[in-house]
Structure 1
Amino acid sequence: MEVSHFVKHYSAQNTQQQQQHLLVRYNHRYNICIPWQVEVFTLSTGASRSPYGNLPRKPIQFGYRQAVNGFYYWLATDTSTIDGELESYNMIISFDITSEEFREIDLPDNLVYNRSMCNLSISNIRESLVVLECDENEGVYVVWIVEDSVPESFTKLFTIDVPGATVLRVLEFRKRGEPVIEIEEAHNDPFDDSSSLVVYEPNSKHVSNLDFSGTGSFYVNAYKETLLLLDQPDFTVFDKGKRYIAKKRSL
């Protein structure tokens, strides 16, 4: 199924005369490399356009995304045919909100080829980009951080290891940097697939239970102010450069 991802961000270029808001869109089919499209939407004009800067190379497939301090980052895979064989390697694609420039960022060597992108994700710790590496064999996660906001300067920050349990996912980070994780405790019941949400303290390696448990999937997101159309009335719709008010549906 073809899907579209929309990235919404407020530009720093906020003045009384013009408030510019950017929307980046790209299309792809999972597991199939097809041409994608990147657009920038400016609220003041109500129209989309191509970015002013460069675009990523076409073989690149986008994955997880994260906003950090004026940049947007995607975990990505570059799939190319070399000597008749299909080869893939992992990387990060960055997008500068101000200059609208895309850039390729190299990952640590052990994450480029040795890890499937299914075992990698990216997140944000105190406005620093981090890469999360899942070690399925050990049931732990390794957290890599970009030092001093310098791309390609990755340092292993800590390993999330909970004795007697398997770390299933890292869902979010709190303000002080502690990860909120989903774990599955070791037990003898093969039919019990319940999991729990806990907070992991990297220094003490202590785990605090959040009293959320059960089967299925958990989703956690950091609270941020909602993207609002500041000077637009409710139900404003933009379509091909035209702006109109949609009718409110009655319940």
Structure 2
Amino acid sequence: MSNNVPSKFVIFGEEQVVVGGVVYWLANDRVGAEDGHDNVIVSFDLTSEEFGEVKLPDRLAYNNCCLCMFKPRESPVVIEGCVEDHKRVYHVWVMKDGVPKLFEKLFTISGHTPDGSLVSSVLGFRKTGEALVELQAHPCSIRTLVAYEPYSKTVITLGVSGRYIFVYSYTKTLLLL
């Protein structure tokens, strides 16, 4: 095992994604951060057993917005949930071609749908690239799972409702032991 463990990273996020034999985690870099923390992505290459650091664009690295990470279409994606003009929005950023610091904003999800429902969180992605989003008619109401089509900005109700909604990825495999 490598001895290059990133001791300066104090807080690792709960989510991790594996892309091409590399595990990526969102983390907070407590060393050298002027405001208390900077957002970074820590990587661990399963082949070379080496840790690394993926620098985020300044907009993501030096803000206090809520970040989470997913892996649609075999690329790490960072969701930036923040408030702009007194409205909740979610910006979707993708790491291009596995190149650190080369992130591109794909699209933005408004915090409100045309019918007035609140987007309470982004839960994941479909294979088609549509975001799986949790909607609420008002803050204390039942939640509904919908697919958000980013280009037409339409939502498709998926028939799942409840007090709490969780989405996990599923991969079918034939593993010979």
The answer to whether TM tops 0.5 is: yes
Runs (4+) of structure 1 moved beyond 3 Å? 225-228
1:52 equivalent in structure 2: 2
Q: Which residue of 1 aligns with 2:104?
A: 155
How big is the shift at 1:200?
0.4
- Distance in 1 between residues matched to 2:162 and 2:19, nearest whole Å: 32
Letter in 2 for 1:79: R
Q: Report the alpha carbon displacement of residue 165 of structure 1 after superposing the two structures with TM.
A: 2.3
> 1:5-52 deviations in whole A, cap 9, x for unaligned?
xxxxxxxxxxxxxxxxxxxxxxxxxxxxxxxxxxxxxxxxxxxxxx23
Aligned partners of 1:76 and 1:227: how far apart in 2?
Answer: 33
State whether structure 2 residue 27 is matched by structure 1 residue 76.
yes
**Contact 2:8–2:30 (8 Å) recurs in 1:** no
Describe the SS at the equivalent of 2:92.
Answer: strand
Aligned partners of 1:108, 1:94: CA distance in 2, in Å?
16
* Larger-gyration structure (1/2): 1
Counterpart residue number, 2:158: 210
SS in 2 for 1:139: strand
* Residue 95 of structure 2 is aligned to residue 143 of structure 1: no
Contact 2:56/2:100 (8 A) holds in 1: no
Aligned letter for 1:165? Answer: S
Matched, 1:122 2:65: no
- In the TM superposition, what is the alpha-carbon distance from 1:53 to its structure 2 partner? 5.6
Matched, 1:176 2:128: yes
Deviations 1:151-171 (CA, angstroms, capped at 9, x unpaired): 110111001123322211111
Once residues 183 and 227 of structure 1 are traced to their aligned partners in structure 2, the CA distance between those partners, rounded to angstroms, is 36
Task: Provide, for residues 196-241 of structure 1, a one-character-per-residue CA deviation record: whole Å limited to 9, x for no partner.
Answer: 10000011111000111232x211112113696x43xxxxxxxxxx
TM-score normalized by the length of structure 1: 0.62
> Percent identity of the aligned residues?
46
Q: Does the Cα contact within 8 Å between 1:65 and 1:122 map onto a contact in 2?
A: yes
After superposition, the Cα gap between the structure-2 partners of 1:99 and 1:220, relative to the gap in structure 1 and judged at 3 Å, is same
Match of residue 11 from structure 2: 61
Number of residue pairs matched?
Answer: 171
Matched residue, 2:39: 90
Counterpart residue type for residue 168 of structure 1: S
Aligned to 1:6: none
Point out where structure 2 has 5 or more consecutive residues left out of the alignment. Answer: none
Is this contact kept in 2: 1:53–1:99, CA < 8 A? Answer: no
Partners of 1:209 and 1:103 in 2: CA distance? 40
Which 5+ residue runs of structure 1 have no aligned equivalent?
1-50, 232-251
Residue 145 of structure 2 corresponds to 197
Q: Decide whether aligned partners of structure 1 residues 198 and 209 sit closer, same or farther in structure 2, where only a CA change above 3 A counts.
A: same
* Structure 1 residue 149 displacement after superposition: 1.9
State the secondary structure of the residue aligned to 1:225.
coil
Select 2:170's aligned residue among 223, 235, 239.
223
